[in-house]
């Protein structure tokens, strides 16, 4: 009898623990699968790929903002397309400061319009975002991965949620680790996804504090290479709010491992880049993958993108499948 009571008690204890863990889980991957649209819209992925490749062939610099778009969507409310919604009062995610430099929304619209023509009401905007991010990297001869699909679209967008959830270029390593962990991502995911900075641009307002007044005494960030800092000061005056800077100078259109080498030389553009050297685990990965020889960065990037694509997804009957990505049905 005592053994039976203990067994019953253990069962209920495990049930409680299971419920608690599930209530804190940052993802809901039930319903996601590779090839979700194979029967309902078999040409879906080819349609998206065509739209992306046509756009990247005309303007290769679109690759980075299309990748960032998926990242910025997933970290705020989950990967459910809330970034794409537009409100008349402009209080939507798209108008939050970190998202003002995003470009390529017309590519999402074009892909979605082609999908609606082929199979109306089937493919969600959030899945279009996920597929576009992968295809943009593929168009740049970067990594490729199998994209899980089956997401549905959210109904809410809120400008105030962006700064609360999106990692900042000013963050230190502790803040970055905490933010990534809150989304179900680990330290390896942090440094791997930061490797996406191998393409694209940053802007002067994101680094002026590192150049002119880092500690409030008119100094520059001691973790920034002095020659690189001098070069950046020539491009960015203290009041400059518009000048674009290559994240990976000389290689900003090419997806490769050179970002890791730059960071190791204290030439990462953002504080968040430099911060990767302040943790042994992130630093170890960074130093190991500075060169393409025997690097697993491309493979690792795909794995981390799949993990990120599971954050807060809506599946089944949750949300909706929007007809147009900029508005709810």
Known binder of ligand: residue 273? Answer: no
Distance CA 117, CA 119 (A): 6
Give the Å distances, CA to CA, from 79 to 39, 88, 187, 229, 314: 23, 23, 20, 36, 8
End of a domain among 164, 183, 203? 164
Question: Does the annotation count 72 as an active-site position?
Answer: yes
Query: Is the same domain home to 74 and 106?
Result: yes
pLDDT for 218 = 84
For Cα atoms 153, 159, 164, give the angle at the middle one, nearest 5 degrees: 100
150 is an annotated ligand-binding site residue: no
* CA-based nearest residue to 321, from 33, 37, 66, 93: 37
Whether 188 is covered by a domain: the verdict is yes
Rounded to an integer, what distance in angstroms lies between the CA atom of residue 328 and that of residue 258?
A: 41
CATH code of the domain covering residue 221: 1.10.420.10
Same domain, 157 and 177: no
pLDDT of residue 20: 40
Alpha carbon distance 260, 129 (integer Å): 26
pLDDT at 234: 94
* Spatial CB neighbours of 10, under 8 Å, sequence gap ≥ 6: none
For the domain that residue 105 is a member of, what is the CATH number? 1.10.520.10
Contacts of 122 (CB under 8 A, 6+ apart): 37, 40, 41, 44, 115, 321
Rounded distance between C-alpha atoms, residue 108 and residue 127, angstroms: 10
| Pair 124, 183 in one domain | no
* 146 marked as binding residue: no
User: Is 167 flagged in the annotation as binding?
Assistant: yes
**Is 295 within any annotated ligand binding site?**
no
pLDDT at 314: 97
Is 24 within the bounds of a domain? no
Burial of 18 (0-12, 13-18, 19+ CB in 10 A): exposed
Q: Are 150 and 107 within one domain?
A: yes
pLDDT for 276: 97
Q: Which of 72, 201, 203, 289 is catalytic?
A: 72
State the virtual CA torsion across 66, 185, 260, 305 in degrees, nearest 10. Answer: -40
Sign of torsion over alpha carbons 136, 298, 171, 273: negative
Dist. CA 213–CA 221, nearest whole Å: 8
Does the annotation flag 54 for ligand binding? no
pLDDT of residue 34: 96
Ranges under pLDDT 50 in the chain: 1-28
Give tens-digit pLDDT for 62-109.
Answer: 999 999 999 999 999 999 999 999 999 999 999 999 999 999 999 999
The domain in which residue 214 lies consists of 167-307
What predicted TM-score, i.e. pTM, was given to this entire model?
0.88
């Amino acid at each position: 009898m005592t053994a039976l009571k203990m067994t019953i008690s253990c069962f209920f204890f495990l049930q409680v623990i299971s419920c608690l863990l599930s209530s804190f889980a940052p993802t809901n991957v039930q319903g996601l699968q590779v090839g979700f649209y194979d029967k309902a819209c078999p040409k879906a992925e080819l349609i998206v790929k065509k739209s992306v490749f046509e756009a990247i062939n005309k303007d290769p610099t679109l690759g980075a903002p299309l990748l960032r778009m998926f990242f910025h969507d997933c970290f705020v409310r989950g990967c459910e397309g809330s970034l794409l919604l537009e409100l008349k009062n402009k209080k939507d995610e798209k108008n939050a400061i970190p998202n003002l430099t995003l470009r390529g929304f017309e590519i999402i619209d074009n892909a979605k319009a082609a999908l609606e023509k082929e199979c109306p009401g089937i493919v969600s905007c959030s899945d279009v975002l996920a597929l576009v991010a992968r295809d943009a990297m593929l168009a740049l001869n970067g990594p490729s991965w199998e994209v899980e699909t089956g997401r549905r679209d959210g109904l809410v967008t809120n400008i105030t949620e962006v700064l609360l959830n999106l990692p900042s270029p000013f963050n230190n390593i502790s803040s970055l680790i905490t933010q990534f962990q809150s989304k179900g991502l680990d330290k390896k995911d942090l440094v791997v996804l930061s490797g996406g900075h191998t393409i694209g641009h940053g802007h002067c307002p994101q680094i002026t504090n590192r150049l002119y007044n880092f500690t409030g005494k008119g100094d520059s960030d001691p973790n920034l290479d002095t020659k690189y800092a001098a070069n950046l000061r020539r491009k960015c005056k203290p009041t400059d709010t518009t000048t674009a800077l290559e994240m990976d100078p000389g290689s900003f259109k090419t997806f490769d491992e050179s970002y890791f080498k730059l960071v190791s030389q204290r030439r990462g553009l953002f504080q968040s880049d430099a911060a990767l050297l302040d943790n042994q685990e992130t630093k170890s990965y960074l130093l190991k993958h500075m060169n393409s020889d025997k690097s697993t960065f491309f493979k690792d990037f795909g794995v981390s993108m799949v993990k990120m694509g599971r954050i807060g997804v809506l599946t089944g009957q949750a949300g909706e499948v929007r007809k147009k990505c900029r508005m709810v049905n």
